[in-house]
A and B are shown apart, each in its own frame.
Chain A
């Protein structure tokens, strides 16, 4: 099963990561580049006159290659977490199919993107933010609590584990993410809103595909191993 877990995760993660990188470069990168003009002070928004709403796509080979590399790397990491959870469920008799994989992917998106973004929306460079260490601790705790909560809701039997699951998802949001004391970001709120929406949209597309691919490769590996045996 170790080989099945690792192979499915690597194939699915690589495929979903490439798609995530492509979507990121087309939809998210232009907003990020525009915000950097405000971060560096090249363009100023809050001076009374407003500023150009032009968001341009710029090609930077080294920078874009690094983005593609890290997106595939991060999605391979996500895939390992996802397929490990799938394998644990399979040991308990849960059937893993491409269609079920879609649901797994949506749940993964909720745990890793949506729940942390509920407290810490994807931030543009130059946004005001609280201490980094505190935000990272909150990010990891929220992902862990949401993942465990979703697992309990999906696989718990009876109302008790499901209520505990719901409370685990609520807890980090009730405690609240660390926020800055003052808002001093130079970036227009219009850009920040667009960036957060697009980052979440790309994450949703990539995660649902990740789940679908993981389910597909999982089934394929199982068939191949059954034929070998």
Chain B
């Protein structure tokens, strides 16, 4: 399965799909690891420290 064997339109659709998964991943890491809302921060506290995120 190489890019050459596909039409440009199909490759573009696949890149859109990849970008969507990437954006979802970035959203999860930001929400679980970095957003400072109090409840979220307290719940994720230990994991944030253990993962090396800036926490306080």
A→B interface (CB under 8 Å): 1-2, 5-6, 9, 21, 24, 28-29, 32, 63, 66-67, 69-71, 73-74, 76-81, 83-85, 87-88, 90-93, 113, 116-117, 120-125, 129, 132, 135-136, 139, 195, 199-200, 202-203
A87-B53 in contact given A71-B47, A77-B26 (Cβ < 8 Å):
no
Closest A residue, CB atoms, query B25: A80
How would you classify the secondary structure of chain B's contact residues: helix, strand, loop or mixed? helix
Pick from B22, B49, B54 the residue with the most CB of A within 10 Å: B54
How would you classify the secondary structure of chain A's contact residues: helix, strand, loop or mixed? helix
In the complex, what residues of B have CB within 8 A of residue A136's CB? Answer: 34, 54
Inter-chain contact A2/B22, CB cutoff 8 Å: no
Closest A residue, CB atoms, query B51: A74
Inter-chain contact B52/A122, CB cutoff 8 Å: yes
Inter-chain contact A81/B54, CB cutoff 8 Å: no
**Neighbour of A91 across the interface among B14, B20, B36, CB < 8 A:** B14
In this complex, how many residues of chain B approach chain A with their Cβ under 8 Å: the count is 36
A90-B1 in contact given A2-B17, A5-B21, A84-B21 (Cβ < 8 Å):
yes
A-B contact pairs, 11 of them (CB 8 A): A2-B18, A28-B50, A77-B24, A78-B29, A80-B21, A81-B26, A85-B22, A87-B18, A132-B36, A136-B54, A202-B50
A123-B32 in contact given A83-B21, A92-B3 (Cβ < 8 Å):
no
Complex Cα spacing A139 to B29, Å: 12
Inter-chain contact B3/A199, CB cutoff 8 Å: no
Inter-chain contact B28/A80, CB cutoff 8 Å: yes
In the complex, what residues of B have CB within 8 A of residue A2's CB? Answer: 14, 17-18, 20-21
A123-B17 in contact given A80-B25, A81-B22 (Cβ < 8 Å):
no
Inter-chain contact A122/B49, CB cutoff 8 Å: yes
**Neighbour of B49 across the interface among A9, A32, A93, CB < 8 A:** A32
**Minimum distance in angstroms from A226 CB to a CB of chain B:** 9
In the complex, what residues of A have CB within 8 A of residue B20's CB? Answer: 2
Complex Cα spacing A96 to B50, Å: 30
A200-B47 in contact given A1-B17, A9-B21, A136-B34 (Cβ < 8 Å):
no
Inter-chain contact B25/A129, CB cutoff 8 Å: no
Complex Cα spacing A116 to B52, Å: 8
**Minimum distance in angstroms from A129 CB to a CB of chain B:** 7
**Minimum distance in angstroms from B9 CB to a CB of chain A:** 14
Complex Cα spacing A21 to B46, Å: 10
Closest A residue, CB atoms, query B54: A135
A32-B46 in contact given A77-B26, A77-B28 (Cβ < 8 Å):
yes
B2 within 8 A of A: yes
Inter-chain contact A123/B54, CB cutoff 8 Å: yes
